[in-house]
Amino acid sequence: MGFLDIRNVTKSYGAVKVLHSVDIQVEEGEFLVLVGPSGCGKSTLLNMIAGLETISGGEIAIKDRVVNGVHPSKRNIAMVFQSYALYPNMTVGQNITFGLEMHGTPKPERERALAEVAKLLQIDHLLDRKPGQLSGGQRQRVAMGRALVRDPDVFLFDEPLSNLDAKLRVDMRTEIKKLHHKLKRTIVYVTHDQIEALTLSTRIAVMNKGYVQQLGTPKEIYDSPANLFVATFMGSPAMNIITAKLVIEGGRAQAEITDANGKPLRLAFSSGNFTAWEGREILLGIRPEAITDPEGADRNSHNIQPLHNMVTVTEPAGADTFVTMTLSGKDVIARMRADASVQPHQPFDFAVNMEKAVAFDPKTGDRIITA
Amino acid sequence: MSVAAQDTAVSTGRITRAFIYLILLLFALFYLLPLYVMGVNSVKPLSEITGGNMMALPKEWTLDPWRSAWSTAQIGVNPTGLKPYFLTSILMVVPAVAISTMLGAINGYILTKWRFKGDTIIFGLMLFSCFIPFQIVLIPMARVLGMLGMAGSIQGLILVHVVYGLGFSTLYFRNYYAAFPTELVRAAQIDGAGFFRIFWRIMLPVSGPIAVVCVIWQFTNIWNDFLFGASFGGTTQPMTVALNNLVQSSTGVKEYNVHFAAAILAAIPTLIVYIVAGRYFVRGLMAGSVKG
């Protein structure tokens, strides 16, 4: 029994099923991020927790109380909307206390709660202003204040940062994380931004086409993606997926790929029992940061493999340099230190950290488990 | 927005500008001419009008035509002036405008924020009522009023105008609320506000601009209506019918000066509504609720 239980929940609009039996247990104080491309059902799921959409099948329980059919205002949740949804005709103070007023909280208590929240979010000086007179970041704070003041069991965030400019978004991200550390409240947060998901969450549910693709900690999701979708969706630039043939030589599984000239070369896996895959085709997944120059390779790794190949393009991006090459006929991106001595159209000695490599079944797209 | 808008006017040369102003001035004069004629002739003795020049300023100023039009002129069989009819019009227009605007607002709110199956069809049918000519509904309406026992009363006229005005007021508010962010309604729901609370506290306070448009439209239409007033007014006839009875009277001397004064009296309320309400055509009330 979790704090927030999503049990076998489905959602359909007529014959169209948009959510397929989602099962998630959220513990008290957890920060769960629902992430996925648009149309994956993440916002629908959030709205169902909030009570703004009906539940077609299964049940949702908050603190062991099944809330299917319970009115949004009686679920003891608070929501921060993408557009902030501040009431334009009310001052910041009225906006924040509107919910308390509707729930019949007496005025002195409302004012005390308002003062507390305003201090926490540093918006004390804005309380008499109208939302129209605030900047994007300030509106964001007010929207959070409106959620906080209610002291709900669960906070729901619907892409709260996507309307902010890039710099402010990063600042507010940190702010939200700090707030979570301080208040230790249960949060369900929807975003399409995988960086937000990785930085904020204690657990992530990666969703696609109405299915939860993988549910796990950010590290699990990033290092051991369950399938090709999760592997390529999480991380930027995306994980390189290279077609390879699995060969076993001297008891060690190796992925055979071809370099820019079509010459075969082999990268040996660290461990794992691949016997069932011997001689078959697999998809080799390597994150860009696992391909570096030899000096920049991870010193803690026990399996750095050399790879000699032609460089196609180099893209300096300040802190990093992205290097593109061709492997098995596809572009592969490597992420290197800014000062790596790499030149376009020249051969280069890459170092591949095969400890971080994963393999996928080309038919199903699932990761090959070789425990 | 407003800062940028100030600089968007195309800069033109002095001569072009002078030319534009000249043309505009001529048009303005042309349109003001009837008002001028009505004005000057309503403060002249009748002899000056029948004696010749309609355009000339009065030689002898008098307010008698106005007094006569307001309180003593012969309307139908009674020498009451327009005063009682003016009162009837006010008693009819104010509730009719208020009720049809209010109902239109609630309709618009439901049709956009509490959607239900078939709502677009219902809206389409209401919209249809905007295009039905008055004459078509006369007989069915007379029958309905008769059955309700409201024929020939102010209440009956109010009902007629509310029913007829609903199509337009619903159209105005529905289109206005369609652009109103639904997330605000959802936020209010989560905050615990109910159907009417959301309407009163969230929707209505930002409906100023569209309410003004709706009020101006309804007020002008209902005040200026002649057909319904003449058909269903009975003994409680509105201003427009009285004006007609005064001006079209076929017995006695035609008192043009009184007629002009009466016509201006009949037009004053709509003018006032335009001048006063026009100031509240404010935009940007929605600013800041959502990113925009």
CA-wise closest residue to B99 among B222, B269, B274: B222
Amino acid, res. B154: I
Q: Which residues contact A145 (CB under 8 A, 6 or more apart)?
A: A92, A96, A117, A118, A120, A121, A123
Query: What's chain A look like in SS3?
Result: CCCEEEEEEEEEECCEEEEEEEEEEECCCCEEEEECCCCCCHHHHHHHHHCCCCCCEEEEEECCEECCCCCHHHCCEEEECCCCCCCCCCCHHHHHHHHHHHCCCCHHHHHHHHHHHHHHHCCHHHCCCCHHHCCHHHHHHHHHHHHHCCCCCEEEEECCCCCCCHHHHHHHHHHHHHHHHHHCCEEEEEECCHHHHHHHCCEEEEEECCEEEEEECHHHHHHCCCEHHHHHHCCCCCCEEEEEEEEEECCEEEEEEECCCCCEEEEECCCCCCHHHCCCEEEEEECHHHEECHHHCCCCCCCEEEEEEEEEEEEEECCEEEEEEEECCEEEEEEEECCCCCCCCCEEEEEEEHHHCEEECCCCCEECCCC
Nearest Cα residue to A34 out of A159, A140, A131: A159
Residues 6+ apart with CB under 8 A from A106: none
Write down the ipTM of this complex.
Answer: 0.77
> Which pLDDT belongs to residue A132?
85
Return the higher-pLDDT residue of B277 and A204. A204
Is residue A367 domain-resident?
no
- Domain final residue, candidates A233, A257, A285: A233
Asked whether residue A321 falls in the same domain as residue A228, the answer is: no
Q: Is B181 on the interface with A (CB under 8 A)?
A: yes
Q: Do B285 and A81 touch (CB under 8 A)?
A: no
Query: What is the Cα–Cα distance from B251 to A349, expressed in whole angstroms?
Result: 114
Report the candidate in A128, A134, A96 with the shortest Cα–Cα distance to residue A112.
Answer: A96
Q: Is the pLDDT score of B28 beyond 90? A: yes
Here the CATH number for the domain that contains residue A336 is: 2.40.50.140
Structure tokens at B51: 């004696």
User: Is A91 a member of any domain?
Assistant: yes
Distance CA A37, CA A194 (A): 10
Task: Please say whether the beta carbons of A186 and A154 come within 8 A.
Answer: yes
- Residue A366 inside a domain? The answer is no
Mutate to test the interface with B, among A53, A87, A92, A154 (most CBs of B within 10 A): A87
A370 located within any domain: no
Burial A5-15 (b: 16+ CB within 10 A, else e): bbbebbbeeee
pLDDT for B229-278, tens place per residue?
778 877 777 777 777 777 777 667 777 888 888 888 888 888 888 888 76
Which of B186, B189, B288 comes nearest A132 by C-beta? B288
Q: How many structural domains is chain A composed of?
A: 2
Q: What is the pLDDT of residue B281?
A: 54
Tell me, rounded to whole angstroms, the distance of Cα A137 from its chain centroid. 22
Q: Nearest by CB to A85, which of B192, B286, B290?
A: B290
- What is the least distance, in Å, from the CA of B193 to any CA of chain A? 6
CATH number of the CATH domain containing A85: 3.40.50.300
Helix, strand or coil, per DSSP, at residue B75: strand
**Is B283 near chain A, with CB under 8 Å?**
no
Encoded tokens for B218: 């309804």
Rounded CA-CA distance B230/B241 in Å is 6
Does position B282 have pLDDT exceeding 60, yes or no?
no
Residues A218 and A245 in one domain: no
Helices (H), chain B: 2-5, 14-42, 46-50, 64-67, 83-113, 119-128, 134-148, 154-178, 182-191, 195-198, 208-224, 227-232, 239-247, 256-278
State whether residue B183 sits within 8 Å of chain A by CB: yes
Q: Please name the residue of chain B whose CA is at the shortest distance from the CA of residue A80.
A: B187
Which are the contacts of A199, defined by CB distance < 8 A and separation ≥ 6?
Answer: A173, A177, A218
* Same-domain check for residues A302 and A261: yes
Are residues A153 and A207 part of one domain?
yes
Phi and psi at B271, nearest 5°, equal -60, -45
Better-scored residue on pLDDT, B152 or A155: A155
A247 and A184 assigned to the same domain: no
Which amino acid, A279? G
pLDDT number for residue B289: 43
Domain assignment present for residue A365? The answer is: no
Would you state the pLDDT for residue A321? 92
Same domain, residue pair A193 and A255: no
Cα–Cα distance for residue pair A305/A354, rounded to 1 Å: 7
pLDDT higher at B247 or B94? B94
Q: Å from B126 to nearest chain A CA?
A: 28
Share of chain B above pLDDT 70, in %: 88
3-state secondary structure of B56: coil
Interval A230-250 mean pLDDT: 90
A65 and A193 share a domain? yes
Q: What 8-state DSSP symbol labels residue B205?
A: G
For residue range B29-41, what is the model confidence (pLDDT) as tens digits?
A: 999 998 888 888 8
Range of the domain at A257: 240-360
Mean pLDDT of B224-230: 82
Measured distance CA(B217)–CA(B209) in Å, rounded: 13
pLDDT of residue A352: 92
> Is B130 part of the contact surface with chain A (CB cutoff 8 Å)?
no
DSSP assignment, residue B248? T
Q: What is the pLDDT of residue A297?
A: 85
Same domain, A264 and A176: no
Give the torsion sign (CA, A78, A84, A89, A95): positive
DSSP-derived 3-state class of residue B78: strand
Residue A50 sits at the chain B interface (C-beta within 8 Å) = yes
Are A149 and A66 found together in one domain?
A: yes
Rounded Cα distance, A358 and B5, in Å: 57
- Domain assignment present for residue A345? The answer is yes
For residue B116, how many other CB atoms are within 10 A of its CB?
8
The Cα of A28 is separated from the nearest Cα of chain B by a number of Å equal to 21
**Mean pLDDT, chain B, as a whole number?**
81
Residues A267 and A178 in one domain: no
A86:B286 CB<8 A:
no
Interchain CB distance below 8 Å, A82 and B183: yes
Q: Does a structural domain hold residue A369?
A: no
Residue A371 within a domain: no
Tokens standing for A297?
A: 């390779």
Q: Of A233, A262, A283, which residue constitutes the final position of a domain?
A: A233
d(CA B43, CA B161): 35
DSSP state of B179: T
Q: Do B193 and A133 touch (CB under 8 A)?
A: no
Residues A54 and A176 reside in one and the same domain: yes
A54 in Cβ contact with A10 (< 8 Å): no
Beta-strand pair A240-249/A252-258: antiparallel
Higher pLDDT, B49 or A43: A43
- B282 touching chain A per CB within 8 A: no
Among the candidates A233, A266, A297, a domain finishes at A233
The closest alpha carbon to B183, from B197, B172, B204, B198, belongs to B198
Q: Which chain A residues have a beta carbon less than 8 Å from that of B181?
A: 83, 85
Mutation for testing the B interface, residue in A102, A105, A110, A126 having most B CBs under 10 Å: A102
pLDDT surpassing 90 at residue B214: no
Q: How confident is the model at residue B225 (pLDDT cuts 50, 70, 90)?
A: confident
Regarding whether A170 and A200 lie in a shared domain, the answer is yes
Helix (H) or strand (E) holding B72, with range, is: none
